[in-house]
Structure 1
Amino acid sequence: MSDPVQSEALQDRLDRLQELTEFTETCQKQLNELFETLGWSQENDEDFNQEPMEQCPYDSNHIVPVRTLEKHKASCMLRKMGYTAEEQEEMCDPSVCYENRNIKSFLMDKSTQHQVILKARSAAPLMKMEGVFWQGQYSGQPVDVPQNHKRAVCDLTVADRLALYDHVVGVLGQQSEAASSNEDLYVDLVSKLKKDEQQNEPKSHLELMAEMRDYKRRRQSYRAKNVHITKKSYTENKHVFGYFVFIKENYVFDASSFALARDSRSPDGHHHDRKKKKKKKDDREKDK
């Protein structure tokens, strides 16, 4: 004969098992409906769970998918260097602005930065001198490469920043010279000679007309501006200049004639004229 207590406990366990079975079946049904609505399949979900993962080199506790590893590494490195999430949001990758453009770029690392500063420090004077940086104004310990302006001002001195600037400008200048010399080696001399020969050929009628048009435009642009004669035609200007020449010639002739006549008369002649005028005046008074 079985114990009633054990029978009751067994029945209770069976009831709980039945409830769990019904619950799991209901959940599975809901999941199937959800997958069907989204157009997913459980096989793809299983493949997603098997996506290859890799450990972060900056934090061994971080296990991230391979497809997002580079993005995570950049963020984790900045976090290890002490940059906050707000500072990371304000940062931007400047390489996006230089895509498909012939602009040189330089990537500075911690070791190169320290070597450049040490080289500039060794070339600086030991004591303070006016107009130049001395060795005490350079950093002695290596620091991380600043990723924003705030860190650059705080971690690097003015002398450090100037030395790094001169180094980057010098390196990029050498790269530009090397690129220009390489381009000279690949100049198409044949096409250049053909172009020179084409320039030596006689010009066509259309080319001559275009040159004449450009010449007239330049001539008009070189004329005086805001002058009243620019608004007159050629014939009107000719009459104006002719009139001025006529006035000038006549004025000079009359003035010279008057001067000659005045100089040709003697002082006695002038005195005789005055006496005649006075005598006529006296005669008129007597008649009255």
Structure 2
Amino acid sequence: MDGSGEDAPPPPAALRSPNHHGAEVPATKTDMGTESGQEGKPKVVVIMGATGAGKSKLAIDLAAHFPIEIVNADSMQVYRGLDVITNKVTVDEQKGVPHHLLGTVNPNVEFTAKEFRDSAHPIIDDIRHRDCLPVVVGGTNYYIQVCLFNVPGQNWGRADNCKFDCCFICVDASVPVLDHYVEQRVDCMIDAGLLKEVSEIYKTEADYTRGLRQAIGVREFEEFLRVYHLEILNTNEFSSLNQSPSMNNIGKDNMREILNSTDDDNPLKILLTEAIDKVKLNTRRLVRRQVSSIS
């Protein structure tokens, strides 16, 4: 699932909106343009909110009214790979709107907030030089904090410490609504190939504290994949053909066959069901941390 950083509170001037259709955004191109604001600071729009609140859709919808380019500020979506698990916006969903720092970072490295800032600043400058408005979108608040503000710590939300002239939009939704959406989204991810993605990067004794493996939806399946892998090793199919076992053959059909098994004592069914429930639980917990940090 998308995002794992959500500790810092938003600046005091953050705008809140009940949903992306009612977001308070400036109504004219002049207001949203690239001219410098107070004290000569460049203008930037920042769209914040919890997982599933509709941040990406709002940003793309803005492109129908203003010349914008989007800078992704989700700490898991910056990595290449696991597009389903991290819920990246697809090419079709982007509707031709340029997206930056989306699926560009080596998945095996730790992309720190400082590295995000050092990457985002020249991108924002380039966007402005193209006479477009930079729109920073994401739920990783510490990325946003370090990118926008010149000082760390408790004074980070002060307007005079901000590097940019920002319009903050917080896309809001009630926690029960988000919980329901999370349940549906995880089920859709399973159907879209989540398990195939995670099986392709599965390694025994993997480090789940760095890079893309930190994403919700990866570690939760570790035990299931370990047992599944052992069963593959023990099948006559591979031993008789003298082939090496592969984890890449886990498709939707395999998974549905396991989930729909009538044998409730089937270890694979138990482990797979538990793993899916953990993904939903951990995503709901993420939502609560995000909502708390921007309330």
Provide the TM-score with structure 2 as the length reference: 0.19
Structure with more contact order per residue of length (Cα contacts < 8 Å, sep ≥ 6): 2
Structure possessing the higher radius of gyration over alpha carbons: 1
The answer to which structure has the higher strand fraction is 2
